[in-house]
Amino acid sequence: MNRIALVLVLVLCGTARADDPLADSYTLQTGNDLAGAVKAMRRTVEAQPNSYFARLRLAYLASLAGDSTGATDAYRAAARLAPAALEPLLGEQLALVTLARWDDAEAVARQILALDPTSYLARSRLAWTRYKKKDLRGAAELYAALLVHYPGDIDMRLGLGWSMVGLNRKADATAAFREVLAMVPKQSGALEGLAAAAKLTGP
């Protein structure tokens, strides 16, 4: 191979590497340059607008970079490309919860549960969403239902306890927090919950 041909091959190879933003996104992510990785994935989406994975990865990287709004939009776009897929909806739900967009988060939770009625992530996040929306009865019902299948889940039992505090149900709140302490002695949330339950006036 003569020198001119060798130079041409090297240039072409270098161009090919430079034009691979998907591969670049992994390199940049590994180097903790999340902003750069997001930019690389945006280029990938521009080149492959109908790629489900490109939009899903863009959403994931945006979430890692702290751009929950951008993540929400990208997850929604991915969901449109794969209507039966759960992963973009779960990602969107988490981003919406992070943004405290409670009504939107509940709507997405309902979409997930229509596809997978037993989804732990969707139901647990929906319970928290309802708690934040002051739908304490709805939150308590979800936490109680989750605990049937996950009786050792400390977070769900704490959620049930605090929902009962909000409902002024002293005995139920006290029982929930004591069950947490039986599993994790001196757990701070349960101790705080017991103190709050002691001040309730309800049954």
| 105 and 141 inside one domain | no
| 105 and 140 inside one domain | no
Q: How many domains is the chain partitioned into structurally?
A: 2
Residue 93 placed within a domain = yes
Q: What is the DSSP string of the chain?
A: --HHHHHHHHHHHHHHHHT-HHHHHHHHHHTT-HHHHHHHHHHHHHH-TT-HHHHHHHHHHHHHTT-HHHHHHHHHHHHHH-TT-SHHHHHHHHHHHHTT-HHHHHHHHHHHHHH-TT-HHHHHHHHHHHHHTT-HHHHHHHHHHHHHH-TT-HHHHHHHHHHHHHTT-HHHHHHHHHHHHHHSTT-HHHHHHHHHHHT----
| 97 and 149 inside one domain | no
The candidate with the shortest Cα–Cα distance to 179, out of 149, 158, 196, 201, is 158
| 152 and 184 inside one domain | yes
Residue 124 placed within a domain = no
Of 59, 90, 116, which residue is a domain's last? Answer: 116
Could you tell me the CATH number of the domain that includes residue 202? Answer: 1.25.40.10
Average pLDDT over residues 44-53: 97
pLDDT band at residue 4 under the 50/70/90 scheme: very low
Residue 7: its pLDDT value, please? Answer: 41
Residue 50 placed within a domain = yes
Residue 122 placed within a domain = no
Residue 3 placed within a domain = no
pLDDT, tens digit, 9 for 90 and up, residues 113-125: 999 999 999 999 9
Residue 7 placed within a domain = no
- Domain ranges, residue 59: 17-116
Residue 73 placed within a domain = yes
Residue 3: its pLDDT value, please? Answer: 54
| Of 10-14, 81-85, 119-123, 170-174, the least confident | 10-14
| 164 and 91 inside one domain | no
Average pLDDT over residues 64-85: 97
